[in-house]
């Protein structure tokens, strides 16, 4: 993956292109008892509360080069959170940072949210849920990063994937509208892309299986990612591997992999 600098288009007025990156990110675990499932939901609600999600979106705004103007956030009962951040695309930055913040390239890693940019927005909503019978619990975060003009949401791609400990990631990227150059010619996209995978780090590509469905003539790009390998001990909530018989561990791992595959392929696969 090599970033290629393109000659900038000389525009007549403002860049009117809207670039939207949408995620469904899933984190999956096994919680054996009803009490463990309640504890898992409480853990998720605390781990992804409005304060932490605000921090994540604040970092996203910084990564893509947007200037934050205002923040509003809310935690919900019994669970969930939302945050709104109003930002301006024209940031208070040095010329050097402005020049580096407008390109679509892989961004940094990290160590219910909504964020609005000036004529653009960021949104995140969280959805924890549990299977009533087999102990599988799934946390989903829906994220939209939509920008208008030069700044690119693709720069926040790697940061968001790794901020939310993703087992499954389903992404859509679309460029809408057009902008006009000084000669009057319309431009329906202002950067080169043939896959969202172009903007993923090598480490991310090594860790995930991936599949693309793209509609190039419409500037629509769709990528699915599923974690290849995992340590079962990291997926057991309330108990550890030493608390189960070996045959139970094999059954649990099979259930977790089944859940991941069904989400990845978007269809039920039947009983184990």
Could you give the residue numbers annotated as active site?
120, 125, 148
How far apart, in Å, do the first and last CA atoms of the chain sit? 39
**Residues 106, 201 contacting (CB under 8 angstroms):** yes
What 8-state DSSP symbol labels residue 14? S
Neighbours of 87 (CB within 10 A): 27
**Residue in the block written with tokens 């319309």:** 186
Q: Are 128 and 171 in contact (CB under 8 A)?
A: no
Residue 50 burial (CB count, 10 A): 19
Beta strands, E only, 118-199: 120-130, 136-148, 168-176, 179-180, 186-187
């Amino acid at each position: 993956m090599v970033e290629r600098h393109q000659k900038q288009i000389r525009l007549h007025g403002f860049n009117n292109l809207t670039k939207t990156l949408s995620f469904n990110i899933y984190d999956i675990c096994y919680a054996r008892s009803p009490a463990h499932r309640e504890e898992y939901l409480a853990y998720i609600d605390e781990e992804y509360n409005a304060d932490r999600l605000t921090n994540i979106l604040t970092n996203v705004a910084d990564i893509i080069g947007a200037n934050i103007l205002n923040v509003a956030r809310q935690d919900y009962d019994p669970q969930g959170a939302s945050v709104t951040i109003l930002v301006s695309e024209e940031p208070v930055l040095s010329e050097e940072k402005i020049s580096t913040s407008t390109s679509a390239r892989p961004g940094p890693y990290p160590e219910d949210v909504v964020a609005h940019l000036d004529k653009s927005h960021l949104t995140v909503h969280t959805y924890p849920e549990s299977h009533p019978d087999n102990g599988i619990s799934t946390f989903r975060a829906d994220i939209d990063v939509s920008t208008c003009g030069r700044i690119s949401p693709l720069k926040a791609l790697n940061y968001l994937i790794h901020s939310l400990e993703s087992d499954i990631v389903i992404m859509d990227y679309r460029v809408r509208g057009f902008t006009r150059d000084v000669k009057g010619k319309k431009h329906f996209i202002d950067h080169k892309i043939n896959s969202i995978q172009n903007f993923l780090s090598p480490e991310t590509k090594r860790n995930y299986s991936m599949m693309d469905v793209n509609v190039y003539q419409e500037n629509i790009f769709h990528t699915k990612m599923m974690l290849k390998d995992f340590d079962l001990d990291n997926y057991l909530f309330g108990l550890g591997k030493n608390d189960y018989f070996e045959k139970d561990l094999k059954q649990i791992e099979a259930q977790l992999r089944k859940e991941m595959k069904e989400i990845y392929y978007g269809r039920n696969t039947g009983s184990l």
